Structures are given as C-alpha cells and as structure tokens.
Structure 1
Amino acid sequence: MKVLIIGSGGREAAIAWKIGQSALVNEIFVAPGNAGVQPFAECVPIAADDIQKLMEFAESKSIDLTVVGTEIPLVMGIADLFEKNGLKIFGPKKKAALLEGSKSFAKRFMKRHNIPTGEFCVCSSYDEAMKSVVAFGFPVVIKVDGLAAGKGVSIANDQTEAEKVLKTVFLDKSFGDAGRSVVIEEFLNGRELSMLCFVDGKTIVPMEGVRDYKRAFDGDKGPNTGGMGTLSPVEGYMPEIQKEFEDKIMFPTLKALKEEGIDYRGVLYFGLMLTDEGVKVLEFNCRFGDPETQVLLPRMQNDLVKVMLSVIDEKLEEQKLCWDERSAVCVIMASGGYPGNYEKGKRIVGLENIESEDLCVFHAGTQNKGGELYTAGGRVLGITALGKDLNEAREKAYQAVEQIEFEGAHYRLDIGK
C-alpha cells in the first residue's frame, strides 16, 4: 500500500513511524512533513490546508490510504472531497469536524444531549463577554470559538486578566475569524485526562488514557501551549472512572452523533476533567492529539493501518486493541519564547547520542539544511521513553533530553511528577 499522511508536526511523525511498521505498507508520503520523517517517508511540499492539491497528488500517486493528522484540513472538508473522488481517507467529514472547529457548536451539542460539561455562554462582542465573565465569577475560562492551534484557551483569575484576554480577541483581533465569538465557561477543578477513541460510525473503542501538560512552565504555570509533554497510562484512572466515562460520555456521544445524522469516522478525542462532581468534558478534538499520539502509538501493539481500514469500512467491532504494559513519557523540547515569539534556525546537536529501543525522538519543528538539523517551529522535538513504570520512563526521557542541545531550548522539568 501507498499511504499519504497530512501534517508537519510530532503527531504526524509518530503516525508515520507507526505506519512504517505495517506489513501492508511499502511507501509513505508526508505532506508537508519535517526532517524527522525523511528516513522512512518522503516529504511532499504541499501545505496541509491545500486540500485540492493534496487530492490531485493522491490521485497522481495512486495513494491507497490518506491519514489526516492535523485539524485544519478536516474542518475544511478534506474527507468529503477525497470520498467524493473515490479516495480512501482516515478522518471525519466536515460536519463531524465541527465538534472541534467550533467550540460553541460542541458545547451546544453536549447541552442538547445531556453530556456532562461545564456551564457556558457564547458571546460575540467585548461588552457582552465582559458582562458574562463578571456574572460567572473568577477564575473563569475564555475560549475563542474557532481553531487556534491550542492557544485559544485562557483562564482569567480576575477582571483585569479577563479584560486583557478579551481585548486581544475582540479589539486586537489577534485570532482573526476564529475569534469572532468566544465561549465563556465555568472553571472546573480537578485532574485533566485525555481519552482518544476510534469511531467507525456505529462502534466506538477507547484507547488508553493520557495526561497532557498544556502550560508552558513547571507547576502548570504560564500560558497554554499545544502541549509540553504527556504520559500514559494515567495513574489513578480507576475502573469506576473508566466506566463513568464510557456510560455517561463516550457511548452517549456516539448515540448523539447518530441522532443528529453525523457519520463520524476517525479518532474522536475527549478532553476531560475529573471533578468532585464526576467526569466532565472540556473539549472535543476530531483527530489524534499532539503530543498524546507520541505516547499512545509506542504503546499500541496493533497494526495501525489495519485499525484505520476497519474504521473506514465500518468493521471496527472486529478489532481488539492491545497495549504494551509499560509506561510512556514524552517531554517536548520547544524553542525559547514558545508559545509566544520565538526564533527559528537554531542548530540541533546530540541526537546521534540517543540509541535505545525504549526511546523514540519524534520531530515536530525541524528542518534539514546541508545534512544538519535546525529548529523550524515552536515545538521542536518530542522525546518519548518507555519504562517498567512511570518513574523509569520519566528518568529515561529526561536522560535523553539532556543529550540534546540547541540555543534557547525550553522544556518543562516536571512531566510525570
């Protein structure tokens, strides 16, 4: 089989690495890809949001399966376009991708179907939003409605912070069309958990639990990022919590999708908060998470391509997911200043020192220039280690991180603590 993967980050690197292990696959393309996938895949210089050119490429190369890693082409309707032209694609159609593409759509969907989530309101102006945050009280959560690469969520601890966030959205228009409206939500206390599920329209199968560290600095301080690290499995995710998630959230969501005539096929990501009142949904994503994928796929023992084909063909019920019992920890090495302004083009050294079957280095923002690696993004590398328990995995990951250097390198020291 020939496989095309769409995206350029660490998630796509992990997907390409895993797909490369399938006996079904003999050729992999990644559009646009990064320097880290080049040893086992061919990078194609087509932007992830140029869905027409991607379709033309898939046709010209007789691609057997396209896997969409990033959310933007899904929200644009790439799955609809490919299916219309007889091309197999893994990822939900445009209508289904609204669960991620619009925070207000997702919250109203949950409210309609009594899926546990925080109280909220939708506001389309600065004045309206300021009145709402004051009514909710502090701390309060402010989310831009559209896609914002994981940076559109803010927690305001007082009125001054809320004013600053809302001015950025409505007056400075820093988020463009994505910030035409905002969702104001009650702040939920508890422990965060990411649950990713395969869905084929009629069957839903959960993967293992993941904990994601979204804030930029140790102790969950600083601005939200796309993710600074992950671990799996999640300690304390007891059978009763799993059952509550499945009975009150996972299966009801599948039932709600069917009732609304949404044929969802792909990965459905549940961002959860384990509160004193029970498990509640923070957000949906319509694809593999980043960097959740970087700890899930090294633990998955199945042939990923077979699972994806079963999703497309509505045969997911025939699959039984199997997992390595070891723990996995991923530490993200980012450019200094991320998620704000940062410099690119910093030479990366030390990767040649990392040799272990228990370690994977997934490139996110890298570029190859004359045989040397340089930084080319905010999140640069994801270092994933497997260990007999969380502590061993964490120790191996940080030992590897210490071997790698580039100017301004920033990473959290408390992933897995």
Structure 2
Amino acid sequence: MNVLLIGSGGREHALAWKLKQSPLLGKLYAIPGSDALAGLAARPAIGAEDFEKICAFCSETKIDLVVVGPEAPLAKGITDFLTRRGIRVFGPSQKGAMLEASKQFAKEFMDRNSIPTASFTVLYSADFAREKIKENKKYPVVIKADGLAAGKGVRICCSEAEALAAVDDFMEKRIFGSSGSKVVLEEFLAGTEASVMALVDGETYLMLPVSRDHKRLQDGNKGPNTGGMGAVCPVQLPAADLEIIEKEVLARFVEGVKKERLGFRGLIYAGIMLTMDGPKLLEFNVRFGDPETQAIMPVLKSDLLPLLAACADGKLAGRELELTGETCVSVVAAAAGYPENPEKDRPITGLYNPLPGVQVFHAGTAQKDGGYVTAGGRVLSVSASAKDLGAARQRAYAALAKINFEGMQYRKDIGL
C-alpha cells in the first residue's frame, strides 16, 4: 500500500516511524515533509496546500491512502478535494474540520448533541466583548480565539485586566489574524486534563490509549500556553469517568456527525477536563495531537496502517487495538524565545546515539553543514518507553541530557 503523509512536524515524524513498521506498506511519501523525515519517506517538492499538484502526484504514484497530519489542510478542504477525485483519505471533510477550525461551531455542536462542556458566550466585537467582561464577576475565565491559532489561542484570565488584554490581543491587534475576529468567553473548569483520541469512520469509533499533554511552558504548569511541552501515555482514568467519556462524549460525537452529515472519517481528539462534577469537554481537535502522538505511537503494538485504511473506508467496526504494555514519556525541547519569538539556526548536538527504548522525533529542525539546526519553536521530542512511568521518565531525561542547543528549554516535570 503506497501512502502519502501530509505534514512536517513531530507528529508526522512519529506517524511515519510507525507506518514504516507496517508489512503492508509499499512506498511512503511526505508532503512537505522535513529533513528528518527524508530518512523514512520520499519528499516530492509540493506544498501541503497545493491540492491540484497533490492530486496529480497521487495519480502518478498510485497512492492508496493519504494521511493528513495537521489541521490547516483539513480546514481548507483537502479531504473533499481528493475524495471527489477518487483518492482515499484519512481525515475529516471541511465541514468536519470546522469542529477545530471554529470554537463557536464546536461549542454549538456540543450543545446540540448534549455533550457536557463549559458554559460559553460568543463575542462578535471588541466593544461587546469588553462590555461582557466588565459585567463578569467570577474569575478565572477562559477566552478563546474562534479560529485556528496553532494551539496558542486560549487565555486563562484571572482578572478583568487580563481578560481585557486578551480581547485587545485577539480582536484589536489581531495577533492570530482573522482567527480573532470573534472570541468565545467560557466558564473556567478546574480539574485534571486528559487527551482522549479515537479513530472514527463515520459510524463507529475506536479509542486510542488515553494520554496527557502538558501545555504550559514551564514546570508546575506556569508560563504561557504552548502547543504542548510533553506527554505521557497511557494514562489510567477512573472507570466511572471513562464510561462517561465513552457514552456522553465519543458516542454522542459519532451520532452528532452522522445526524449533521459532517463527513467524518479520521481522528477526533477530545480535550477532557476531569472536574468534581465529572468529565467535561474542553475542545475538539480533528487530527492526531502533538505532542501526544509522539507518546502514543511507541506504545501501540497494533499495525497502524490497516486501522487508518479501515477508517477511511468506513469499515472500522470489529477492529481492536493491541498495546505493548509499556508507558511512554515524551519531552519536548523548545528553542529559546518560544513561544513568542523562537531563535533559529542554533546547531543541535547529541542526536545520533539515542539510548535503547528512546526515539527522537524532529519537529522544528533543518539540516545544515552535515548536522541539524533549530528551525522552529518546538524543536524535537524525546520519547522513551519502559515498563513503568518512573523508568520511562528516567530514560527520557537521560536521553535528553545528551542533546543540546543554545537556549534549549524543556520541562523537568513531565509525567509527575
């Protein structure tokens, strides 16, 4: 089976690493890919959003399955474009991708389908937003840019001043462009987060092992929100919480996409908050999480490729997952200045002799002068698997200690 992987980050590196293990795989290609991915997949010189050229490439090379990694091509309709031309795709339709591309659309979908979530108000103008904030007496509150913002469009505001500053940044300064043309003001939910991902074929779902992301930049969940600074998988949830998540989130999600004809054959990521009142849904993402994928793939014993193909074909029913029984801890190393202004072109050392049970997944790197340099905010993930969480943590941080670049920053409490 020839496979085309769309994307270039750490998530795609982990997916390529896993797909490469499949005995069903013929040739693997990546668009646009990365220098690090070149060892796993051929890289045609095509952009990830050049749908016409991607379609022509799929025809020329007899691609059997396109796997879409990032959210942006999904939101722009890559699945619709390719499937209309007879190409099989793992990834939701443009309508389905609205569940991530618009916070308003997602929250209203949750309400329509009785999925437990925080109360919310949609604010369509900066003046209206300021008015509602000044009426609010309870803090913290959450303010979310409506559109895509690379995981950085959420602010937890502990005061009126912070909330007004978020509105100014999103709606007046437009730090995320048109994604901030409207915002969602949301009730703050206290508790413990969990990342729940499931393969969905439009009729049923298959849940992946639960993982946990660490979104804040600094230890102790301090500092600004990031795209994610590390992850652990699997995470054991109380049986009662897991039952609610399956019945009231995943099952209702599948029924909702069927009823509303959203065309969803891909991966749904439910960001869950385990509150005192039970699990509640924070947000939907419509693709594999990053960095969670870098922690999930190493503990997945099952062949990923036939699962993705079955999903794209609407034939997921009866499929099961087999896990290795190990725990994986994945720690992100980020560039100096991340998340605002990451420093690039810093030489990276210590990449070439990873410890046993360790994988290094590249995100923001590029080859230069025979080595690698930093080329993005989140530079790489060190993923270590072991028989238990403590051993996996020890292995991950021992491996990370061998890697260095100027200004490297990472959290030391992933998995604690």
Counterparts of 2:261 and 2:168 in 1: how far apart (Å)? 38
Counterparts of 1:72 and 1:51 in 2: how far apart (Å)? 13
Per-residue deviation, residues 186-240 of structure 1 (Å, max 9, x unmatched): 00000000000010011111111110000111111111110000001114x1222
Q: Shift of residue 61 of structure 1? A: 2.0
Indicate the residue corresponding to 1:231 in structure 2. Answer: 232
SS of the equivalent of 1:274 reads: strand
Counterparts of 1:135 and 1:199 in 2: how far apart (Å)? 41
Residue 196 of structure 1 contacts residue 208 of structure 1 at CA under 8 Å; is this kept in 2? yes
Q: Shift of residue 48 of structure 1? A: 2.1
Structure 2 counterpart of 1:369, one-letter code: K
Indicate the residue corresponding to 2:44 in structure 1. Answer: 44
Q: Shift of residue 132 of structure 1? A: 2.3
Change (3 A) 1:134 1:45: farther
Q: Shift of residue 253 of structure 1? A: 1.3
Counterparts of 1:46 and 1:375 in 2: how far apart (Å)? 23
Change (3 A) 1:126 1:398: same
Structure 2 counterpart of 1:144, one-letter code: A
User: Is 1:131 matched with 2:97?
Assistant: no
User: Is 1:305 matched with 2:305?
Assistant: yes
Per-residue deviation, residues 59-92 of structure 1 (Å, max 9, x unmatched): 2222111100000000111000100111111100
1:67-146 matches, within 5 Å, as 67-136=67-136, 137-146=138-147
Residue 366 of structure 1 contacts residue 374 of structure 1 at CA under 8 Å; is this kept in 2? yes
Per-residue deviation, residues 240-287 of structure 1 (Å, max 9, x unmatched): 211111111111111111111223110011000000011100000111
Counterparts of 1:113 and 1:355 in 2: how far apart (Å)? 47
Counterparts of 2:314 and 2:268 in 1: how far apart (Å)? 15
1:82-231 matches, within 5 Å, as 82-136=82-136, 137-231=138-232
Indicate the residue corresponding to 1:281 in structure 2. Answer: 281
Counterparts of 1:305 and 1:75 in 2: how far apart (Å)? 23
Q: Shift of residue 152 of structure 1? A: 0.5
Query: TM-score by structure 1 length?
Result: 0.97
Q: Shift of residue 370 of structure 1? A: 3.3
Residue 229 of structure 2 contacts residue 332 of structure 2 at CA under 8 Å; is this kept in 1? yes
Indicate the residue corresponding to 1:415 in structure 2. Answer: 414
Indicate the residue corresponding to 2:372 in structure 1. Answer: 373
Residue 190 of structure 1 contacts residue 275 of structure 1 at CA under 8 Å; is this kept in 2? yes
SS of the equivalent of 1:298 reads: helix
Counterparts of 1:49 and 1:150 in 2: how far apart (Å)? 20
CA-atom RMSD in angstroms: 1.1
Per-residue deviation, residues 342-365 of structure 1 (Å, max 9, x unmatched): 211111110123141x11110001
Q: Shift of residue 44 of structure 1? A: 3.0
Structure 1 counterpart of 2:7, one-letter code: G
Structure 1 counterpart of 2:318, one-letter code: E
Residue 66 of structure 1 contacts residue 88 of structure 1 at CA under 8 Å; is this kept in 2? yes
Q: Shift of residue 135 of structure 1? A: 3.6
SS of the equivalent of 2:39 reads: coil
Structure 2 counterpart of 1:163, one-letter code: L
Counterparts of 1:119 and 1:192 in 2: how far apart (Å)? 18
SS of the equivalent of 2:341 reads: coil
1:234-253 matches, within 5 Å, as 234-235=235-236, 237-253=237-253
Per-residue deviation, residues 23-68 of structure 1 (Å, max 9, x unmatched): 1112111111122212221223333222232222222222111100
Counterparts of 2:92 and 2:100 in 1: how far apart (Å)? 11
Residue 74 of structure 1 contacts residue 93 of structure 1 at CA under 8 Å; is this kept in 2? yes
Q: Shift of residue 389 of structure 1? A: 0.9
Counterparts of 2:54 and 2:153 in 1: how far apart (Å)? 27
Query: TM-score by structure 2 length?
Result: 0.98
Indicate the residue corresponding to 2:324 in structure 1. Answer: 324
Residue 355 of structure 2 contacts residue 399 of structure 2 at CA under 8 Å; is this kept in 1? no
Residue 10 of structure 1 contacts residue 364 of structure 1 at CA under 8 Å; is this kept in 2? yes
1:49-64 matches, within 5 Å, as 49-64=49-64
Per-residue deviation, residues 94-133 of structure 1 (Å, max 9, x unmatched): 1111101110000001111211000001011112112223
Structure 2 counterpart of 1:173, one-letter code: R
SS of the equivalent of 1:14 reads: helix
Counterparts of 1:17 and 1:270 in 2: how far apart (Å)? 24
SS of the equivalent of 1:73 reads: helix
SS of the equivalent of 1:318 reads: coil
Residue 365 of structure 2 contacts residue 374 of structure 2 at CA under 8 Å; is this kept in 1? yes
Query: Quick one: percent identity of the two aligned structures?
Result: 45
SS of the equivalent of 2:380 reads: strand
SS of the equivalent of 1:245 reads: helix
Structure 1 counterpart of 2:9, one-letter code: G
User: How many residues were matched structurally?
Assistant: 415
Counterparts of 1:213 and 1:355 in 2: how far apart (Å)? 24
Structure 1 counterpart of 2:279, one-letter code: V
| 39-48 or 11-20, larger mean C-alpha shift | 39-48
Counterparts of 2:349 and 2:115 in 1: how far apart (Å)? 48
Counterparts of 1:135 and 1:195 in 2: how far apart (Å)? 35
Instruction: Provide structure 1 residue ranges, at least 5 long, that are not aligned to the other structure.
Output: none
Residue 133 of structure 2 contacts residue 164 of structure 2 at CA under 8 Å; is this kept in 1? no
Per-residue deviation, residues 298-337 of structure 1 (Å, max 9, x unmatched): 1111111100111111111131111111111000001011
Counterparts of 2:92 and 2:80 in 1: how far apart (Å)? 8
